[in-house]
């Protein structure tokens, strides 16, 4: 069944580097979680076996959609592959109240089995994409990029970072092996920024290295070490502006900590390259999407 389910994926999944096999595993896990050790007792008791229905997943709010592909996999799996997708929006499409995100025709019991799992993915990921777009629009025209963090839901990082991209944001490292981040504890353990940087460069010569600083007077050591990127941790707007002037293009700069939607543009106008926003993934509210079932 896996190969036929993967055929339900739209091209956006491949373009955005989502692993179809992993999506199948996630879909299977969520459906098993909903079923427990039995069946959907309500649907089995009330819906005739073999009844066919049309399921319309409809946005109740304005936003950006993400999670269409995994929702389709959940539906196809719940319907045991016997489903026809009438229409589906592209990942990253704009939504208005009443917009149909996805329509599928199949067994009524299967569609209702899929309902909550599909909506959990759609609402959560669309919420992240929608919040990300708000941040992106807030800094539009400044040249500063909105970037996520590793403050993600355990087990869902790749999907949540995908949703950030759908909202126009950019991704920080996916895992600890993608790039080095020298934080205060690494500095403490190594005896300074310079020694920590040197040890990483010697052990992993090809990885990008970012250095976190929380004071302006730490920047010279980070620059001298050869940092590719310097993270300005919990610095205010004035301090960020000073850091940009001091660095003068010798390294990219990322502001992080204490930034709100209301202050985002002022931070961006200092000239930093990135705003690191953990809230994109750890505090995004669900986007309201619902299922309307039409029997027959």
pLDDT digits (tens, 9 = 90+) for 204-227: 999 999 999 999 999 999 999 999
Contacts of residue 44, defined as CB under 8 A and 6 or more positions apart, other chains included, come to 109
Q: What is residue 14's predicted lDDT score, i.e. its pLDDT?
A: 46
CA distance 92 to 98: 17
Q: What band does 85 get if pLDDT is binned at 50, 70 and 90?
A: very high
The CATH code of the domain at 2-135+284-295 is 3.90.1170.20
DSSP 85: E
pTM across the whole model = 0.93
CA distance 106 to 76: 9
What are the Cα distances from residue 120, in Å, to 57, 71, 240, 287? 12, 9, 38, 10
Q: What is residue 6's predicted lDDT score, i.e. its pLDDT?
A: 56
CATH topology of domain 137-282: TIM Barrel (3.20.20)
Contacts of residue 22, defined as CB under 8 A and 6 or more positions apart, other chains included, come to 158
pLDDT digits (tens, 9 = 90+) for 93-129: 999 999 999 999 999 999 999 999 999 999 999 999 9
287, 94 Cβ separation under 8 angstroms: no
Q: What band does 69 get if pLDDT is binned at 50, 70 and 90?
A: very high
Q: Which residues are catalytic?
A: 116, 151, 183, 212, 233
Helices (H), the chain: 2-6, 11-15, 20-35, 41-46, 68-78, 108-138, 157-166, 184-190, 193-203, 219-225, 237-247, 264-268, 279-282
| Structure tokens given for 163 | 């949703």
285, 124 Cβ separation under 8 angstroms: no
Q: Calculate the CA 196 to chain-centre distance.
A: 30
Task: Show me where the domains of the chain are located.
Answer: 2-135+284-295, 137-282
- Which of 116, 88, 97 is CA-nearest to residue 27? 116
Q: What is residue 61's predicted lDDT score, i.e. its pLDDT?
A: 98
CA distance 268 to 201: 30
Residue 216: is it exposed, middle or buried by C-beta count within 10 angstroms (0-12/13-18/19+)?
A: middle
């Amino acid at each position: 069944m896996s190969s036929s389910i993967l055929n339900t994926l739209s091209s956006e999944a491949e373009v955005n580097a989502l692993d179809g096999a992993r999506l199948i595993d996630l879909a299977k896990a969520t459906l098993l979680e909903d079923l427990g050790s039995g069946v959907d007792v309500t649907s089995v008791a009330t819906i005739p076996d073999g009844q066919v229905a049309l399921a319309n997943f409809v946005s109740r709010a304005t936003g950006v959609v993400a999670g269409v592909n995994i929702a389709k996999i959940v539906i196809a799996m719940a319907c045991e592959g016997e489903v026809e997708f009438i229409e589906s929006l592209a990942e990253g499409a704009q939504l208005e109240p009443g917009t149909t995100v996805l329509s599928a025709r199949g067994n009524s019991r299967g569609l209702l089995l899929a309902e909550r799992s599909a909506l959990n993915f759609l609402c959560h990921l669309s919420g992240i994409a929608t919040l990300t777009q708000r941040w992106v629009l807030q800094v539009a025209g400044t040249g500063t990029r909105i970037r996520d963090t590793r403050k993600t839901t355990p087990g869902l990082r790749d999907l949540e970072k995908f949703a950030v991209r759908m909202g126009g944001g950019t991704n920080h490292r996916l895992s600890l092996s993608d790039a080095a981040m020298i934080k205060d504890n690494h500095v403490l353990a190594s005896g300074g920024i310079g020694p920590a940087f040197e040890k990483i460069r010697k052990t992993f010569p090809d990885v990008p290295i970012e250095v976190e600083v929380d004071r302006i007077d730490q920047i010279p050591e980070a620059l001298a070490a050869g940092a590719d990127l310097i993270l300005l941790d919990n610095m205010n707007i004035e301090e960020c502006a000073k850091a940009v002037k001091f660095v003068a293009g010798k390294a990219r700069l990322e502001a992080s900590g204490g930034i709100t939607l209301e202050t985002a543009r002022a931070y961006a106008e200092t000239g930093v390259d990135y705003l690191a926003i953990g809230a994109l993934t750890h505090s995004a509210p669900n986007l309201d999407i619902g299922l309307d079932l039409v029997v027959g």
